[in-house]
């Protein structure tokens, strides 16, 4: 049976991969709308259809962020990983809300994009640290003293 730490490691990697895929689906939605508009007049529904997968994967990501937090807390992986996971989950909830609000207030969409970069960075850092053998509170290696 895999350890809780191994489960956390795999969840962090899957989460990061899904975030990268999520960005690709956002790009697809945007370019699909442009492509369709080149051919005929398009409706709001046509544009929304291009972003359906983006929305579904976004919801899945937020759920996975919550699972990651639960695994870190229930698995007693330490306060640093619980806080890091909690921060990622908070960014996910904010992202979900910004996505909802941005359809009525397009200027808020800028924050949705910036927050996506924060999520990308945080999930990438967490996945890297868990796979590299460290975690959020791991001490940094120090360079050896210079020879005299």
pLDDT tens for 43-81 read: 777 777 778 889 899 999 999 999 999 999 999 999 999
Q: Considering the chain, what is the average pLDDT of its residues?
A: 88
Cβ atoms < 10 Å from Cβ of 11: 22
Please state whether the predicted TM-score (pTM) of the whole model is above 0.85.
no
What pLDDT does 138 receive? 43
pLDDT of res. 64: 97
pLDDT the model gives residue 81: 95
Residue 116's pLDDT band (boundaries 50, 70, 90)?
very high
Contacts of 43 (CB under 8 A, 6+ apart): none
Residue range 12-24, pLDDT digits in tens? 999 999 999 999 9
Residue 123 has pLDDT above 80, yes or no: yes
């Amino acid at each position: 049976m895999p350890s809780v730490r191994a489960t956390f490691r795999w969840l962090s990697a899957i989460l990061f991969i899904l975030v990268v895929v999520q960005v690709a689906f956002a790009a697809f939605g945007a370019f699909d709308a442009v492509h369709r508009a080149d051919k005929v007049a398009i409706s709001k529904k046509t544009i929304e259809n291009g972003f359906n997968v983006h929305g579904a994967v976004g919801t899945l990501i937020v759920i996975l962020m919550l699972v990651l937090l639960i695994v870190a807390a229930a698995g007693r992986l330490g306060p640093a990983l619980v806080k890091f996971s909690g921060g990622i989950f908070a960014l996910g909830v904010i992202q979900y809300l910004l996505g909802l609000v941005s359809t009525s207030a397009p200027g808020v969409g800028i924050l949705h994009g910036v927050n996506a970069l924060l999520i990308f960075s945080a999930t990438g850092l967490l996945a890297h640290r868990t796979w590299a053998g460290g975690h959020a509170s791991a001490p940094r290696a120090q360079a050896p003293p210079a020879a005299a």
